[in-house]
C-alpha cells in the first residue's frame, strides 16, 4: 500500500500550551488574592472590581475554563492527530477555535469584574458570552469530528472516546443551564426559578466537574501517561469498561449538591445512589493509570514528569472516593456549606488537573521544540513545592470545615446555641492563613515551571509541522456499490451520533419547557408575593456583588440551623427567584431569614463598615453602594422580563414600577433619617436594604390555616 505523507499541526498545540500557562498563573494569582481576602478584609481595597464577591467567580472561571480549558485543547489537539494519524481537520477552524476561546476568556474576565453575572456558580457568564461559548464549542466539535472522520487508523483509541463524550455532554449541559431571558445587552434572568433553577444548576455544576474537569483529562491521561512511561496502558479492557460505566453513571449524580434542601427526597436519593456507584468506574481509571507504571516505579523515582502524573492520578482517586462519601446524607450534613467542600475541590483542581497539566507540559514542550528539558532538577523541585502546597492547602481546609461544622451544631446544657456564627469564623482564621501559604507555594512552583519551560523553548527549535508517513485507511463498504446515501451514513457513525443528540435534546427541550413553565406559575404558598421593583433592583445588586459566594439562603431542617436562622426553607418560597440564590458556602451566616432581623440603619452601617457592627467580621465593605444611584432606567425592562417568565405583576406594571420604587425608597430613606442617617433615596444601598429586609419574610405573613407545600 502507498504511504501518504502529511504533517501534524504543532503550532495550534503550542498556542494552547502557552495559553494554559498564562491563564494558569492568572487563575492562581486571583485565587491567592481571594484566599488572603478571607482573613484580611483590607485586601479587598474598597473597590468594586477587587472585592471578593467578584474576585471569586473570576478565580473559579479562570481556573476551570481558561487554565483547564486550554489544557484540554492542548492535549486533544496533540493526541488526536497522532491517534487518528491525520492533521487536524481544518487549520482555519483551529485558529478560530484558539482565538475565539481566548476572546471568551478576556470577555469573561472583563464582564465578571464589571459585575455582570448570572449569579449561578461556574455558569456566571452572561448571555452574549454564553452564545459565544456555544459557537466556539461547535467549531471545536467540527474540527474534532472532522479529524476523526478523515483518520488513517480505523480503531478509535480509548482517549478519543473520552473526547467524544466530553464534547457531547458539555454541549448539552451548557445549553440547558444557560436558558435565560436577556433584558439588556449584558444582563439576563435565569429561565428557571427557585428549586427548579437549583436543580438545573447543580445538574450542570456536577457534570461540569465530570465532563470538563474529569473525562477530557482521563482521555489525556490515557495518551500522555503511556507515552511518558513508554509502556502500554495496564488494561485496555478496563479502560473501555470504566469509560462506558463512568459516563453513564456520572450524569445522574447532580442532586447530591442539594441534600436536605427543598428538593424532593426521591431525587436526592437517586443522586446519592448514583454517586456511590461512581466509586467503581472512577477507581477503575485510577487503578488503570497507576498499574500502567507496574514494574516501572524505578522510572518514577528518576522522572519528574511521572512523579507529577502519579500524584495527579492519586489525587483523582482520593477526590473520587471522597466525593461519593460526601454525598451520603449524614456526611453531607456536616460537610456542606463548610470549607470541607473547598478542600475537596482543590484536591481535584490542584492535584488532578494541575499536576497532570504540569506533567504534560514538561513532556510536550521539549518534544515539540526538539530539545531536552532545560532542568530536570528544577522540575523535581517544582514537584515537591507543589505537593507541599497541596497538602498545606487541603489539610487546613478539611480541619476548618469539620471544626466549624461541629461548632455550628453545639448547644449548651440550657439548650441554646453555644457559639455565635462570627466566633466559628474567627476560630478558623489561622487555618485560612495556612491555606493561603499552601496556595502561594503552589503558585511559586508553577512559576518555576514557566522559567524552566522558557529556558527549554529558547534552547530548542520549534517543529511547527511534523512530517509523518502513514498508510491510508482502506476504503470500507465498497461492496455497497451505488447505494450512495447509505454509504454516507455508514461511514459517519459519529456524525450520526452528534446529529441525533442535537435533534433529540433540542427538540425535547423546546417541547418540554412550555409545559413546565405553566406548572411553575402556580404559587405553592399563598403569601409568597413577587418582589417590589425596589427589592428586585436590590436583589440584582446582591447578585452583582456576588453575595452568594459567601452567604447561603437555605435553612436546612436541622435543630441548630432552625435555632440559629429561623424556620427552615420551603420550596414554595423561591418561586419568583430568577435565579435562585441558595449558595453553596457559608463564609458568612445564612441569609434566608435575614428580613426584619436588624433595623435599616444596621444594614446601612454594616455595608459601609462591617466591623463597626460585628467586630472581627471578615466581610469586605461596600462603600460605593452608598454613592451610586439605582439604575431606574432599566426597571421597566426588568419587570417585563419577569412577566415573560411568569411572575404575576399586573399588566402594564412596567410603566408604573418606578413610581412604586421611588415611594418605597423614600420610606426607607425616612426611616434611616429617624436613626440619624442622612442619605438620598436614589442610592443603591436603599434598594439592597429593601431586598434584605424582604428576604424570607413572606412566609411569616401566612395565616395559620394555609397549607404549606414542602
Partner 1 sequence: MSVIIILLFASISVAALFLAAFIWSVKSGQYDDQMSPPMRMLLDDTTAKSSHT
Positions in the binding site for partner 1 (CB under 8 A): 7-8, 82-83, 85, 153, 155-158, 161, 164-165, 168-169, 172, 176, 192, 195-196, 199-200, 203, 223, 226-227, 230-233, 236-237, 240, 244, 247-248, 251-252, 254, 263-264, 267, 461-470, 493, 497, 500-501, 504-505, 508-509, 512-513, 515-516, 519-520, 571
Phi/psi of residue 417, nearest 5 degrees: -65, 135
Residue 657, helix vs strand vs coil: helix
**What does the alpha-carbon distance between residue 308 and residue 315 come to, in Å, rounded to a whole number?**
11
**What does the alpha-carbon distance between residue 144 and residue 255 come to, in Å, rounded to a whole number?**
32
CB of 155 to partner 1, least distance (A): 5
22 or 463: CB nearest partner 1: 463
519 or 700: CB nearest partner 1: 519
**What does the alpha-carbon distance between residue 287 and residue 133 come to, in Å, rounded to a whole number?**
34
Q: Give exposure, 181-213, as e/b (b: 16+ Cβ within 10 Å).
A: eebeeebbbbbbbbbbbbbbbbbbbbbbbbbbb
CB of 4 to partner 1, least distance (A): 10
Phi/psi of residue 440, nearest 5 degrees: -65, -45
CB of 294 to partner 1, least distance (A): 13
Helices and strands in the chain, H and E counts? 29, 4
CB of 224 to partner 1, least distance (A): 11
**What does the alpha-carbon distance between residue 268 and residue 262 come to, in Å, rounded to a whole number?**
10
520 or 681: CB nearest partner 1: 520
CB of 625 to partner 1, least distance (A): 34
**What does the alpha-carbon distance between residue 544 and residue 566 come to, in Å, rounded to a whole number?**
26
30 or 158: CB nearest partner 1: 158
Burial category of 224 from C-beta neighbours within 10 Å (exposed 0-12, middle 13-18, buried 19 and up): buried
Residue 351, helix vs strand vs coil: helix
Segments of 380-431 assigned E as strands: none
**What does the alpha-carbon distance between residue 389 and residue 148 come to, in Å, rounded to a whole number?**
39
State the Cα torsion 165-168-169-173 to the nearest 10°. Answer: 170
What the block records as the C-alpha cell of 354 is 494541575
Strand pairing of 465-470 and 4-9? Answer: antiparallel
CB of 81 to partner 1, least distance (A): 11
CB of 215 to partner 1, least distance (A): 11
CA-to-CA separations, 533 to 199, 524, 527, 657, in angstroms, rounded = 27, 22, 18, 6
CB of 278 to partner 1, least distance (A): 14
237 or 301: CB nearest partner 1: 237
237 or 676: CB nearest partner 1: 237
156 or 422: CB nearest partner 1: 156
* Closest by Cα among 30, 50, 40 to 622: 50
What the block records as the C-alpha cell of 212 is 470538563
236 or 384: CB nearest partner 1: 236
CB of 113 to partner 1, least distance (A): 31
81 or 387: CB nearest partner 1: 81
What the block records as the C-alpha cell of 381 is 523541585
* Closest by Cα among 449, 458, 453, 369 to 10: 369
Pair 97, 88: CB distance under 8 Å? no
CB of 453 to partner 1, least distance (A): 19
CB of 260 to partner 1, least distance (A): 16
229 or 669: CB nearest partner 1: 229
CB of 668 to partner 1, least distance (A): 35
**What does the alpha-carbon distance between residue 534 and residue 291 come to, in Å, rounded to a whole number?**
61
- For 542-570, the three-class secondary structure string (H helix, E strand, C coil) is HHHCCHHHCCCCCCCCCHHHHHHHCCCCC
H/E run at residue 182: strand 180-182
CB of 578 to partner 1, least distance (A): 13
**What does the alpha-carbon distance between residue 3 and residue 476 come to, in Å, rounded to a whole number?**
18
369 or 393: CB nearest partner 1: 369
**What does the alpha-carbon distance between residue 672 and residue 250 come to, in Å, rounded to a whole number?**
52
CB of 130 to partner 1, least distance (A): 17
151 or 564: CB nearest partner 1: 151
**What does the alpha-carbon distance between residue 470 and residue 152 come to, in Å, rounded to a whole number?**
7
Cis upstream peptide for 23 (omega within 30°) = no
Burial category of 133 from C-beta neighbours within 10 Å (exposed 0-12, middle 13-18, buried 19 and up): buried
275 or 587: CB nearest partner 1: 275
294 or 659: CB nearest partner 1: 294
23 or 137: CB nearest partner 1: 137
Q: Which residues pair with 9 in a beta bridge?
A: 465
CB of 254 to partner 1, least distance (A): 8
Amino acid at each position: 500500500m502507498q504511504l501518504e505523507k502529511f504533517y501534524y499541526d504543532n503550532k495550534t498545540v503550542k498556542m494552547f500550551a502557552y495559553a494554559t500557562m498564562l491563564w494558569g498563573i492568572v487563575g492562581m494569582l486571583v485565587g491567592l488574592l481571594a484566599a488572603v481576602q478571607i482573613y484580611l478584609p483590607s485586601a479587598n481595597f474598597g473597590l468594586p472590581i477587587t472585592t471578593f464577591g467578584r474576585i471569586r467567580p473570576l478565580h473559579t472561571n479562570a481556573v476551570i475554563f481558561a487554565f483547564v480549558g486550554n489544557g484540554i485543547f492542548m492535549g486533544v489537539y496533540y493526541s488526536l492527530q497522532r491517534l487518528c494519524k491525520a492533521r487536524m481537520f481544518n487549520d482555519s477552524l483551529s485558529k478560530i477555535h484558539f482565538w475565539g476561546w481566548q476572546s471568551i476568556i478576556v470577555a469573561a474576565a472583563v464582564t465578571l469584574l464589571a459585575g455582570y453575572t448570572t449569579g449561578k456558580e461556574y455558569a456566571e457568564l452572561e448571555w452574549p458570552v454564553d452564545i459565544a461559548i456555544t459557537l466556539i464549542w461547535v467549531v471545536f466539535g467540527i474540527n474534532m469530528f472532522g479529524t476523526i472522520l478523515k483518520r488513517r487508523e480505523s480503531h478509535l483509541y480509548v482517549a478519543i472516546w473520552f473526547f467524544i463524550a466530553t464534547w457531547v455532554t458539555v454541549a448539552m449541559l451548557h445549553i440547558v443551564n444557560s436558558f435565560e431571558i436577556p433584558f439588556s445587552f449584558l444582563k439576563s434572568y435565569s429561565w428557571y426559578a427557585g428549586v427548579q433553577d437549583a436543580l438545573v444548576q447543580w445538574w450542570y455544576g456536577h457534570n461540569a466537574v465530570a465532563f470538563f474537569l474529569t473525562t477530557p483529562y482521563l482521555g489525556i491521561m490515557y495518551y500522555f501517561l503511556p507515552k511518558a512511561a513508554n509502556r502500554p496502558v495496564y488494561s485496555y479492557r478496563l479502560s473501555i469498561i470504566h469509560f462506558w460505566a463512568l459516563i453513564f453513571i456520572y450524569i445522574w449524580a447532580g442532586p447530591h449538591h442539594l441534600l436536605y434542601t427543598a428538593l424532593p427526597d426521591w431525587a436526592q436519593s437517586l443522586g446519592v445512589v448514583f454517586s456511590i456507584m461512581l466509586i467503581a468506574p472512577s477507581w477503575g481509571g485510577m487503578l488503570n493509570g497507576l498499574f500502567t507504571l507496574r514494574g516501572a516505579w524505578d522510572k518514577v523515582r528518576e522522572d519528574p514528569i511521572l512523579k507529577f502524573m502519579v500524584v495527579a492520578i492519586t489525587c483523582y482517586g482520593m477526590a473520587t472516593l471522597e466525593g461519593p462519601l460526601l454525598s451520603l446524607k449524614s456526611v453531607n450534613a456536616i460537610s456542606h456549606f463548610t470549607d470541607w467542600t473547598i478542600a475537596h475541590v482543590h484536591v481535584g483542581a490542584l492535584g488532578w488537573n494541575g499536576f497532570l497539566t504540569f506533567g504534560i507540559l514538561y513532556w510536550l514542550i521539549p518534544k515539540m521544540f526538539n530539545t531536552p528539558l532545560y532542568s530536570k532538577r528544577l522540575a523535581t523541585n517544582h514537584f515537591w513545592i507543589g505537593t507541599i502546597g497541596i497538602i498545606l492547602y487541603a489539610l487546613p481546609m478539611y480541619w476548618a470545615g469539620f471544626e466549624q461544622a461541629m461548632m455550628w451544631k453545639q448547644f449548651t446544657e440550657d439548650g441554646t446555641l453555644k457559639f455565635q456564627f462570627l466566633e466559628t469564623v474567627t476560630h478558623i482564621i489561622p487555618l485560612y492563613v495556612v491555606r493561603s501559604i499552601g496556595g502561594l507555594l503552589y503558585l511559586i512552583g508553577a512559576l518555576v515551571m514557566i522559567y524552566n519551560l522558557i529556558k527549554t523553548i529558547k534552547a530548542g527549535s520549534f517543529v511547527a509541522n511534523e512530517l509523518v508517513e502513514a498508510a491510508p485507511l482502506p476504503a470500507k463498504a465498497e461492496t455497497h456499490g451505488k447505494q450512495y446515501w447509505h454509504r454516507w451514513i455508514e461511514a459517519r457513525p459519529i456524525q450520526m451520533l452528534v446529529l441525533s443528540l442535537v435533534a433529540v435534546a433540542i427538540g425535547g427541550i423546546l417541547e418540554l419547557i412550555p409545559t413546565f413553565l405553566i406548572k411553575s406559575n402556580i404559587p405553592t404558598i399563598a403569601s409568597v408575593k413577587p418582589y417590589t421593583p425596589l427589592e428586585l433592583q436590590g436583589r440584582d445588586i446582591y447578585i452583582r456583588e456576588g453575595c452568594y459566594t459567601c452567604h447561603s439562603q437555605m435553612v436546612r431542617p436541622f435543630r441548630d440551623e432552625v435555632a440559629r436562622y429561623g424556620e427552615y426553607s420551603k420550596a414554595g418560597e423561591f418561586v419568583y427567584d430568577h435565579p435562585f440564590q441558595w449558595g453553596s458556602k457559608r463564609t458568612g451566616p445564612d441569609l434566608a431569614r435575614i428580613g426584619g432581623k436588624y433595623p435599616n440603619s444596621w444594614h446601612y452601617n454594616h455595608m459601609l463598615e462591617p466591623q463597626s457592627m460585628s467586630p472581627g467580621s471578615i466581610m469586605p465593605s461596600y462603600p460605593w453602594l452608598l454613592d451610586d444611584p439605582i439604575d431606574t432606567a432599566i426597571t421597566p425592562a426588568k419587570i417585563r422580563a419577569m412577566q415573560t417568565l411568569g411572575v404575576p405583576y399586573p399588566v402594564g406594571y412596567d410603566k408604573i414600577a418606578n413610581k412604586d420604587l421611588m415611594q418605597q425608597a423614600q420610606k426607607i430613606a425616612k426611616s434611616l433619617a429617624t436613626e440619624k442617617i442622612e442619605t438620598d433615596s436614589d442610592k443603591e444601598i436603599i434598594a439592597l436594604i429593601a431586598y434584605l429586609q424582604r428576604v424570607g419574610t413572606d412566609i411569616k405573613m401566612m395565616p395559620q390555616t394555609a397549607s404549606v407545600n414542602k
